Structure 1
């Protein structure tokens, strides 16, 4: 008699456990649940891509600083040395056209950085 009660209870518990597992799985497979899971994965992927881009940018800035140090671009200007050469040559190497403005620096001095996020 005790044996039958034990196996009956074990069978009932296994049935409840299996029913619960099946119901949970069915809820996970509803269209709303699948859409929510896909949205969560997309957001997580977006965060990972953003973190990767920030890491790349930080490494790029660090390497740029290393190169500037190696090339002496950040060195203080010695007042005894002459200033940078300024030429009145136009873009093609010839004289500048009348009314054409020649920039004193070979690179733009505005704060625009093409590597920044827009």
Structure 2
């Protein structure tokens, strides 16, 4: 009698355990769960890449400053660079040879008017 009770209880426990495992796996395989898992993995990967890129940029900046100092010493340039020269912009001439020139613009349709 005790053996039957033992094996019945063992079978029931194994059934509950297997059912729980299968239900958890099925919930993990739903489209919503897969999308959430993929989004979380993408966010983690993006954060890792961002951290590496920031670290790389800082390393590049430090090495660039060190190399500029070395070159400045080698060339005898100790003064920091002065302000940059102002940029010059080409003026667009209003002449008939310029394709952007419009003498008298007239618009046949105003989208803001009510007809």
> How does the TM-score come out when normalised to structure 1?
0.61
Give the aligned CA root-mean-square deviation in angstroms: 2.3
Listed one character per residue, the Cα deviations across residues 13-38 of structure 1 (whole Å, up to 9, x for unaligned) are: 00000000000000000000001111
1:10 aligns with 2:10: yes
CA separation in 2, counterparts of 1:5 and 1:58?
69
Q: Match for residue 94 of structure 1?
A: none
Q: How does 1:67-106 map to 2 (within 5 A)?
A: 67-72=67-72, 76-77=78-79
**Total equivalences in the alignment:** 81
Q: Which has the higher helix share?
A: 2
CA separation in 2, counterparts of 1:2 and 1:8?
10
Q: Which has the larger radius of gyration?
A: 2
Unaligned runs of 5+ in 2: 86-115
Higher RCO (CA 8 Å, separation ≥ 6 residues): 1
Q: Following superposition, which runs of at least 4 residues in structure 1 exceed 3 angstroms of deviation?
A: none
Unaligned runs of 5+ in 1: 78-104, 111-118
